Amino acid sequence: MNLTQDIFCAREQRIIDIIYSGHHTLEEIAAKIPVYKKTNPKPVYFVYEQVMIMIHLQHLAGQGEVIKEDNLLFEAGQRE
């Protein structure tokens, strides 16, 4: 893997961990700041977080890692 792939995979793992810990909406996941990892972020960062999280979630869903059910997100193993 190259550095970009490592960053991408690390972000996706953080998102999966957040979902597994009980945060199942986009807003809840974004509040944990898994992409930009800012401390005391300005409100605009939550918009950036949500956009990036949506991109990662699309990829994870395509890989069968996450499932969306009634606007809630689950790690695939949580719903089996």
Distance between CA atoms of 80 and 61, rounded to whole angstroms?
Answer: 15
**pLDDT of 39:** 80
User: Given the structure tokens 């807003």, which residue do they identify?
Assistant: 27
Specify whether the backbone of 70 is left (phi greater than 0), alpha (psi in -120 to 50) or beta: left
**CA-based torsion, 44, 47, 50, 53: positive or negative:** negative
What pLDDT shows up at residue 6? Answer: 94
Which pLDDT does position 37 carry in this prediction? 80
Per-residue pLDDT of the chain (80 residues; tens, 9 = 90+): 799 999 999 999 999 999 999 999 999 999 999 998 878 888 888 899 999 999 999 999 999 999 988 888 888 876 55
Q: What is the C-alpha separation between 33 and 30, in angstroms, rounded?
A: 5
Q: Which domains does the chain have, with CATH numbers?
A: 3-79 (1.10.10.10)
- pLDDT attached to residue 76: 82
